[in-house]
Amino acid sequence: MPLPPTVGRAPLHTRSIEIRGYRREDGLFDIEGHLVDVKAVDFKVAGRMRPPGTPVHDMWLRITVDSQLHIVDVAASMDAVPYAGECDSIAPDYRKLVGLAIRPGYLQRVKTL
């Protein structure tokens, strides 16, 4: 059901998240996520102005799981981040998810990594 009409407005920010699941030839499953943030106006980040439509974040994550939802592999990459050299330095840390299982309590275990 669509939302009711509102007053005139101008767009500022859009976050798009796409998640896809794949069955692999080796019997495992890949879950891939892609997150993109863009602003519809000029914006300043890290001391410089960026034009509308320039991604603030453009991040990818792939988690490979087995049939019991044990994480057997993880890959992360960041094509755009607001603070290069800082924000993108976390990508290798996603490998710490390998060995965990996605089930009740999963988020509490992830927070301790």
Are residues 78 and 58 in contact, defined by beta-carbon separation less than 8 angstroms?
yes
At residue 1, the pLDDT reads: 87
pLDDT at site 107:
59
pLDDT along the chain (113 residues), means of 10: 94 96 97 96 90 94 96 95 83 92 71 60
Concatenating the DSSP letter of every residue in the chain gives: -PPPP-------EEEEEEEEEEE-TTS-EEEEEEEEEEESS-EEETTEEE-TT-EEEEEEEEEEE-TT-BEEEEEEEEEE-SSTTTGGGGGGGGGGGTT-B-STTHHHHHHT-
Unique residue bearing structure tokens 């453009």: 58
- pLDDT score recorded for residue 110: 61
Q: What is the pLDDT of residue 85?
A: 79
pLDDT of residue 82: 86
pLDDT for the residue 111: 61
Cα–Cα distance for residue pair 46/30, rounded to 1 Å: 34
Residue 7 is predicted with a pLDDT of 97
Q: Are strands 29-39 and 43-45 parallel, antiparallel or unpaired?
A: unpaired
Q: Give the pLDDT of residue 5.
A: 94
